[in-house]
Amino acid sequence: RSQDMEEYYLRDSKSIININTLNFRSKIDFSGVCEHSFSQNSGGKKPSSTYCMYVCRVFKLIRLSELTSEYQTVADYVIRDGLLSKSIVSISRIQNLELWEIYCRKKKQLMKIKSVQDIPERRLFHGTDTKNVDSICKYNFDLRKPKTNGRTFGNGIYFAIHASFAEKYSTNSTHDGNTKSIFLARVMIGKFKPGQQDLLKPDDENAFDSCVNDPNHPTIFIIFDPNQIYPEYLIEYQ
C-alpha cells in the first residue's frame, strides 16, 4: 500500500524493499530515486507530496544488470510472452514515486466504487517514438498527444500483450541509429468491452474500465485514463 511504503521510507530512507507481484520479482530502491538533499537520500516508487516534492528527481531509470533475477524475469517475459525476436540491449526499471502513488490511489478508488477486493491488472507493451520516452517516464502516457496510427478501438492509449506487435510503433531509433525503445507497463484493465472507433471512454455508465480488440481473445487493450497505467520498465532493443 502507498501509506505502508511511505512509512517504511520514513523509517529507513536508504533501504531496499523486495516485492513479488504479478509473477514478477522487483524492488524499490529508496536511495536510488532522489538527489542528496540535507545530507539524506529519499525516494521509492511512491512519493510523499509534502517531503519528496522538493528533494526527489521526477524519475530515475535504474539499468538492470543482466546477472540479476529481475532482469532475467523481465527479459524472459519480453521474449517468451511478448514474442520479441529482437536482441535486447538493456532493461531499465522506471522509478517514479508520484506516478506509482497515483496508480495505487486509482486502484483503491476503483475497488471502493465497484465494491471488489481487487482490480485485474496485466503487464502490457507499448511502442512509441523515442522522443516520447522521457515525457512518459516523467508524466505518464498522455491522451492529448495526437494519434498517428488510427483509433480503430477508441481514442485511448493502446497496449499489446505481445512486444512483437507493439514494437511496430517504435518508429524512431536512438542516437546510435539502431536501438529502439518499448515500454512494459503495469495496466489496470479491469472489466473490458469491445472497442469502437473514436470512443472517448468505454461507456457512459462507467461499468467498464477498458476496451479491447476481441473480448474473447484480447491482444490489444485501450486505456482511457492514464491513472490506470504505471510505466514500469523501459526495454531497449535492436
* Residue 177 belongs to domain with CATH number: 3.90.228.10
Number of domains the chain contains:
1
Residue 49 lies in a domain: no
Q: Is 205 part of a structural domain of the chain? A: yes
pLDDT on residue 163: 96
Q: Estimate to the nearest angstrom the gap between the alpha carbon of 43 and the chain centroid.
A: 18
Which H or E run includes 76?
A: helix 69-76
Residue 160 predicted with pLDDT over 90? yes
For 26-46, what is the mean pLDDT? 42
CB-based contacts of 30-38 (< 8 A; 24+ apart in sequence): 32/60, 32/62, 32/95, 33/57, 33/59, 33/60, 33/95, 33/97
- Residue 202 vs residue 151, higher pLDDT: 202
Q: Which domain holds residue 200?
A: 68-237
Report the alpha-carbon distance of residue 201 to residue 203 in Å, rounded.
Answer: 6
Q: Please report whether residue 171 resides in a domain.
A: yes
Q: 143 or 122: whose pLDDT is higher?
A: 122
Give the dihedral of Cα atoms 120, 121, 126, 131; nearest 10 deg: 120
Confidence of residue 151 (pLDDT cuts 50, 70, 90): confident
Is residue 6 in a domain?
Answer: no
Mean confidence (pLDDT) of the chain: 82
CB contact set of 82 (below 8 Å; sequence gap of 6+): 125, 161, 162, 163, 164, 166, 184
Q: Report the DSSP pairing between strands 24-29 and 210-212.
A: unpaired
129 located within any domain:
yes
Calculate helix-pair angle for 2-11, 97-114, nearest 10 degrees.
140
Residue 122 lies in a domain: yes
pLDDT at 6: 47
Distances (CA, A) of 51 to 48, 86, 103, 128: 5, 42, 19, 33
- Inside any domain, residue 35: no
**pLDDT, average across residues 130-149:** 85
pLDDT given at position 210:
98
**Cell reading at 66:** 543482466
- Please report the pLDDT score of residue 46 as a whole number: 44
Name, in order, each residue with C-beta under 8 angstroms of 230's C-beta and a sequence gap of 6 or more.
Answer: 99, 100, 103, 140, 185, 186, 187
Q: In what order do the strands lie in the sheet with 88-95?
A: 60-63, 88-95, 229-237, 180-188, 121-127, 157-160, 220-223, 210-212, 192-194
Query: What's the pTM?
Result: 0.78
In a domain, 200, yes or no: yes
202: left (phi over 0), alpha (psi -120 to 50) or beta: alpha
pLDDT value of position 25: 57
DSSP-derived secondary structure for 80-108: IIT---SPEEEEEEEE-HHHHHHHHHHHH
Per-residue pLDDT band for 4 (boundaries 50, 70, 90) equals low
The more confident residue out of 16 and 102 is 102
pLDDT digit string, tens, across residues 189-231: 999 999 999 899 999 988 999 999 999 999 999 999 999 999 9
Instruction: Provide, rounded to the nearest whole percent, the portion of the chain with pLDDT above 90.
Output: 64
- Which of the two residues, 67 and 1, has the higher pLDDT score? 67
